[in-house]
Amino acid sequence: GQNIDQPTEMTATEGAIVQINCTYQTSGFNGLFWYQQHAGEAPTFLSYNVLDGLEEKGRFSSFLSRSKGYSYLLLKELQMKDSASYLCAPDLGGANNLFFGTGTRLTVIP
């Protein structure tokens, strides 16, 4: 089965750093996706981690620990436009299996 846990809401200040955690319990696991979703819009791809460790992509980095069932998304130099929901989605392999949590709604304040 799948059990995904993320904080429901977070608030951070413009220019700061924020870490969004995700823990998961799945019956199979290939990797983990992070998606960003602005209000009223579709989810858009941010990152996909297969191996343990930190992967950096500009202001966004994603970390994975397969043994601990844990991932986080790190956002640096926050901008107002980063206010959005961030969805953690473990990949159970195959063309199908992305299971999304309810996401973390991040609000960036001046």
Partner 1 sequence: DAGVIQSPRHEVTEMGQEVTLRCKPISGHNSLFWYRQTMMRGLELLIYFNNNVPIDDSGMPEDRFSAKMPNASFSTLKIQPSEPRDSAVYFCASSLAETLAGTDTQYFGPGTRLTVL
Where does this chain bind partner 1 (CB under 8 A)?
A: 30-31, 33, 41-45, 48, 87, 91, 93-96, 98-103
Q: How far is CA 66 from CA 22, 24, 37, 85, in A?
A: 12, 10, 25, 23
- Using the minimum distance from each CB to partner 1, give the nearer residue, 78 or 84: 84
Residues in the chain: 110
Q: Is there a contact between 92 and 70 (Cβ–Cβ < 8 Å)?
A: no
- Using the minimum distance from each CB to partner 1, give the nearer residue, 87 or 108: 87
Smallest distance, partner 1 to C-beta of residue 55, A:
14
Q: How far is CA 6 from CA 29, 34, 48, 105, in A?
A: 18, 12, 17, 10
- Using the minimum distance from each CB to partner 1, give the nearer residue, 33 or 63: 33
Smallest distance, partner 1 to C-beta of residue 99, A:
7
